[in-house]
Structure 1
Amino acid sequence: MEDAEAPLLDGADKGPLVGVSDFWGRPVRRSTSGGWRSALFILVVEVSGSFALLGVSANLITYLTGPLGHSNAAAAAAVNAWSGTASLMPLLGAFLADSFLGRYRSIILAYTLYVLGYGMITLASALVEHPSSLGDGIDPAASSLQVAFFYAALYLIAMAQGVDKPCGLAFAADQFDPDHPKERASRSSIFNWWFFSTAAGVCVSFVAVSYIQENVGWGVGYGLLCILMLCTFIVFLIGTPTYRMYVHTPGAESPLARLAHSLAALARTRSSSGKHDKEEDVAEEARRVLRLVPIWAACLAYGVVCAQVMTLFNKQGRTMERRFFGGFEFPPAALQTLGAGSVLVFVPIYDHVLVPTLRGTTGNPSGLTMLQRMGIGMVISLAAVSLAALVEARRLQVARDHGLVDDPSATVPMSCAWLVPQYMMMAVADVFAMVGMQEFFYDQMPNELRSMGLALYLSIAGIGGFISSALISFIDHVTSSGGSDSWFTDNLNRAHLDYFYWLLAGISAAELVLYLWLATSYVYNNRKRIA
């Protein structure tokens, strides 16, 4: 990690770098472009983007069940559907970036949409808080038009994230030369520190933004996020003279068109018994991409478990005792700072202690292979959701023992500190699994399709959110039939989130078995850099 802690510049600047230019198309030198000096601009921008997004998503279920009046099941399904969309949109964003706009211009488009989206959501929440501002005779409850405007703003933010997320980390990694030893080491390390920096922003967002939203006003909380995104946009533009842009070869085929041709070549080589060396070379790129698909599919259950941290974990915390430090009651969304705080503690331990220790044992410069790292994260998430089931079963028992089953507004006399282990375990799981997925899908894709590789990683959480949403809706319908209480009934003291968590534990166990089978037979691309 020593080589990654400061801007890494070659002492001998041997002339313009090959294949890269500045924003104006001029040649650039190593001493005046790229490296940590450029990556830090992008890092600040992307951390601010994550801060703002978590300022919406961390407390979104509270807003939906509060000012907008949704039921628990409807709100959880809506949050999962939105987060799923936000995580799937990067597939479209990566297509635009890799084929047309490039990563720099894609980030410009994303932050334009961010400022517009956060401005709209600020206005929408202000209208719900002060409906009389629309004129006399307006019902105090949120009208369908106001709700529609809020969701339009919400999904505009999802679109902005779809353009931004596959490009930000890839653009930061692009600032390091993979053929320069020190810069190559920095590029590997940036995935860990990217996650660390995002967690730092998330910690502040969970505490500060959620507190402002619930105690000062939702409009004020969202308005501050809009101002932050505008300031962040300006910071990104200031860094423009230092950025390295990859030069597009005139007349070259777009990366996705090239992939389509390689897939066609692969189909022809399989249907033909003759040897065609040229066709085989073209088809190999398609094989490299297709080998990622089974691994991607085996990771989806992990995305389903992650979806619960923002929704059902949050609802659990709202029913429990949250007073500390002389009676101060903090918002349930602030519990998620436990996860982000765990990341802040564990990433340096992983990078400075675990990696050097494992390096001596495994002989791998990274300590673990990317697939080993992902698998360990899956094991920890399985343990976390199993623990969540046990804690919820205890919470229900405490509610029964104190006669609170029929009092949904009562605070169950059980400290929310019981939730701390499951939040921390999911955070540690993310340091292994999510960071491992980032690096794996970036590294194993062809160079020209690395935005798409990161979009593939982001889509795991997206499709996991959709699966979670569909699963919750289906279980809610089945368990509430015949007049019975749903597992997700609004009165959580009559619900059975513990049953749902056990179901997720079973799905995670099945996923783990499939993943281990696939990982043992996977052959890495770029084997020299993996070994």
Structure 2
Amino acid sequence: MENHQLSPPKGGWKSAIFIIFVEMAERFAYYGIAGNMMMYLTKVMEEPVATAAKNVNSWNGVSSLALFIGAFFADSFLGRFNTTLISSSVFLMGLMLLTISTTTTIPQHARTALFFSALYITALGEGGHKPCVQTFAADQFDENTPEQRKAKSSFFNWWYLGIVVGATIAVLVVVYVEDNISWTVGFAIPTLAVGLALSIFILGSSTYRKERPVGSPFTSVAQVVVSAIRKRHLTEMSSGRGLYYSDDDVAGHGLQVLKLAPTNHFRCLDKATVIDDRDSMMKSRNGWRLCSVNQVEEVKLILRLIPIWVCTFAYAIIVAQVHTFFIKQASTMNRSIGPKFQIPPASLQVIPGIAILLCLPIYDKFLVPTFRNLTKIPSGITSVQRIGIGIGLSILTIATAAIVESMRLNVASKHGLIDDPKATIPISVGWLVPQFVIMGLSDMFAYVGMQELFYDQMPEDMRSMGSALTNGALGIGAFMSTAIISAVQGITSKWGNPWLVNNLNLAHLHQFYWVLAGFCALDLVLYVFAARCFVWNRTAHTVDPLV
């Protein structure tokens, strides 16, 4: 009798651990490069401060918005495994070219061209990697068994810990190497880490549970819009054939679609569900002419989120300052610890993460139960309210930064250092800690609230788009920061001298911060209005009863 051995089941922790290594290495590499980019552009490439800030923001913006491309290809054509593999390889190639561009054996003009080309190659790799890898790792756990569901819950905790560890080591270690030993060595370390992690990821490929592409949610949205435009002159009464209710073609691939009741919002889109004579004569439904009621209602859910999403751009603008002008502020201040060690300016970026790790348990264990008793809401406060608090804290962040910058300028003036751009101002860099801490609290409320809202209120088969919206807001905020810098420079140049000059002691960075604070305060007013008008999806799994 032959001995038939069953192949071991795929997925589970033995598979997820390989993917966690890839994400840790990617976060390690990203923060090792992004965390100190402002200093590299101003010190090594000798770019003006305003130009360097715009370049950093543009790169962060492309990295964040490129994830829409990655999500589209993963859902529509390649699947999450192939997209993760290809995008990680692209990211590694960009890191290799970036490392080569820092060597002195290449002519200066060629180094500059290679550097920026490599930078945007890494941005494309990041865009393909980010929306897929966490979902692919979560796919390794089968929700149909209690053991796997429990393991999946534990996985997210370890996943977040891996991200924090990778980013923290990069900001503390890699940044120090870049500032004190060699930029080439500093860039080579993340490159080697990603290369090693990618090899580990490939080694585990035979153990992975791989889902096939199920179609992009962007296509579903486009179909509703096109169908509604085609039938803009029709009504249910004029067609005489009623509305299309079946969701069989919408679900596809055995997916279970959440049924949504018809609503009175965005009534113009209901045209897409009207059956006309041409539809009734077709043997099979044309998705670009006729959409189901459920499909249209899913698109309405997305449209109802857009005002909230737009109002988060101002918060994202403040996030962009953490990686640019906050670091430049720190570079001018006293960063000494003892007689020999100096804190790298970019290492201060670790403070928001530490603030989150310390404050999140307090929020979860003490504040949430207190708010729950008052509001009778399971989460204590709604996700919309949580975002609003985060936006308010971002205003406090930039206002604090403006006050500290005024203090720094006063100290520079008292010591006669205004005209010396390379002088270390005798004021401790510790004065910057509050603005970094408040920014961490802002992230804890705004960013996490965005993730919760866009996941909870999105249709089940469109939740990858919810993740894309959350990170896409940060990308748009980075681009908006660049636009604001250009506008401020242009306007202030006409009045006299531009505010953001290379010598930070002669700059008007504090006034620029107050402009951002005013802009965010106006945004908060608009956000409150949008939040009050927001209509909740009452059929979602987790429903916030109040705004």
Larger displacement relative to structure 2 (281-290 or 106-115):
281-290
Alignment of 1:7-406 (within 5 A): 32-34=9-11, 38-126=15-103, 130=104, 133-134=105-106, 143-176=108-141, 194-247=159-212, 254-267=216-229, 271-274=233-236, 276-278=243-245, 279=273, 280-406=293-419
With structure 2 as the length reference, what TM-score do the two structures score?
A: 0.82
Q: Distance in 2 between matches of 1:308 and 1:341?
A: 18
Letter in 2 for 1:216: I
Q: Indicate how the Cα distance of structure 1 residues 354 and 173 shifts in structure 2: closer, same or farther if over 3 A, else same.
A: farther
Partner SS, residue 529 of structure 1: coil
Q: Could you report, residue by residue, the CA deviation over 1:373-411 in whole angstroms, capped at 9, with x for unpaired residues? A: 222211111111111111111111111111111111111
Deviation at 1:363, TM superposition (A): 4.0
Q: Could you report, residue by residue, the CA deviation over 1:86-141 in whole angstroms, capped at 9, with x for unpaired residues? A: 11111111111111111111110111011111110010011xxx2xx35xxx6xxx
Flag the structure with larger Rg: 2
Q: Indicate how the Cα distance of structure 1 residues 487 and 176 shifts in structure 2: closer, same or farther if over 3 A, else same.
A: farther
Asked whether the 8 Å contact 1:485–1:494 carries over to 2, the reply is no
Larger displacement relative to structure 2 (315-324 or 254-263):
254-263
Gap regions ≥5 residues in structure 2: 1-5, 237-241, 246-272, 274-292
Partner of 1:458: 471
Q: Distance in 2 between matches of 1:183 and 1:390?
A: 51
Q: Could you report, residue by residue, the CA deviation over 1:50-105 in whole angstroms, capped at 9, with x for unpaired residues? A: 11111111111111111211111111111111111111111111111111111111
Partner SS, residue 506 of structure 1: helix
Equivalent residue for 1:503, pick from 497, 515, 520: 515
Q: Distance in 2 between matches of 1:357 and 1:184?
A: 29
Asked whether the 8 Å contact 1:357–1:367 carries over to 2, the reply is yes
Number of matched residues? Answer: 487
Partner of 1:428: 441
Q: Distance in 2 between matches of 1:215 and 1:159?
A: 29
Q: Could you report, residue by residue, the CA deviation over 1:191-247 in whole angstroms, capped at 9, with x for unpaired residues? A: 676555423322211111111011110000111111000111123234434543335
Over the matched positions of the two proteins, sequence identity in percent amounts to 41
Deviation at 1:465, TM superposition (A): 0.7
Partner SS, residue 244 of structure 1: coil
Q: Distance in 1 between matches of 2:130 and 2:143?
A: 21
Partner SS, residue 439 of structure 2: helix
With structure 1 as the length reference, what TM-score do the two structures score?
A: 0.84
Larger displacement relative to structure 2 (450-459 or 503-512):
450-459
Partner SS, residue 426 of structure 2: strand
Larger displacement relative to structure 2 (439-448 or 501-510):
439-448
Q: Indicate how the Cα distance of structure 1 residues 232 and 335 shifts in structure 2: closer, same or farther if over 3 A, else same.
A: same
Larger displacement relative to structure 2 (393-402 or 282-291):
282-291
Q: Distance in 2 between matches of 1:443 and 1:277?
A: 26
Partner SS, residue 427 of structure 2: strand
Equivalent residue for 1:515, pick from 507, 527, 539: 527
Q: Distance in 1 between matches of 2:224 and 2:146?
A: 31
Q: Indicate how the Cα distance of structure 1 residues 400 and 148 shifts in structure 2: closer, same or farther if over 3 A, else same.
A: same
Partner of 2:266: none
Partner SS, residue 530 of structure 1: coil
Q: Indicate how the Cα distance of structure 1 residues 295 and 173 shifts in structure 2: closer, same or farther if over 3 A, else same.
A: farther
Asked whether the 8 Å contact 1:200–1:344 carries over to 2, the reply is no
Asked whether the 8 Å contact 1:262–1:283 carries over to 2, the reply is yes
Asked whether the 8 Å contact 1:259–1:286 carries over to 2, the reply is yes
Asked whether the 8 Å contact 1:98–1:449 carries over to 2, the reply is no
Deviation at 1:277, TM superposition (A): 4.7
Q: Distance in 1 between matches of 2:158 and 2:375?
A: 23
Q: Distance in 1 between matches of 2:16 and 2:373?
A: 30
Partner SS, residue 506 of structure 2: coil
Deviation at 1:269, TM superposition (A): 7.4
Deviation at 1:272, TM superposition (A): 3.7
Q: Distance in 1 between matches of 2:153 and 2:382?
A: 12
Gap regions ≥5 residues in structure 1: 1-26
Q: Could you report, residue by residue, the CA deviation over 1:241-290 in whole angstroms, capped at 9, with x for unpaired residues? A: 454333557xxx65433332233345567754325253233311211222
Deviation at 1:151, TM superposition (A): 0.3
Q: Indicate how the Cα distance of structure 1 residues 44 and 339 shifts in structure 2: closer, same or farther if over 3 A, else same.
A: same
Q: Distance in 2 between matches of 1:179 and 1:273?
A: 43
Asked whether the 8 Å contact 1:98–1:256 carries over to 2, the reply is no
Q: Distance in 2 between matches of 1:44 and 1:352?
A: 30
Letter in 2 for 1:261: Q
Letter in 2 for 1:259: V
Asked whether the 8 Å contact 2:421–2:503 carries over to 1, the reply is yes
Deviation at 1:480, TM superposition (A): 2.7
Partner of 1:487: 499
Q: Distance in 1 between matches of 2:447 and 2:543?
A: 18
Letter in 2 for 1:44: F
Partner SS, residue 119 of structure 2: helix
Partner of 1:468: 481
Partner SS, residue 106 of structure 1: helix
Partner SS, residue 308 of structure 1: helix
Larger displacement relative to structure 2 (115-124 or 508-517):
508-517
Q: Distance in 2 between matches of 1:118 and 1:453?
A: 29
Deviation at 1:518, TM superposition (A): 1.7
Q: Indicate how the Cα distance of structure 1 residues 423 and 195 shifts in structure 2: closer, same or farther if over 3 A, else same.
A: farther
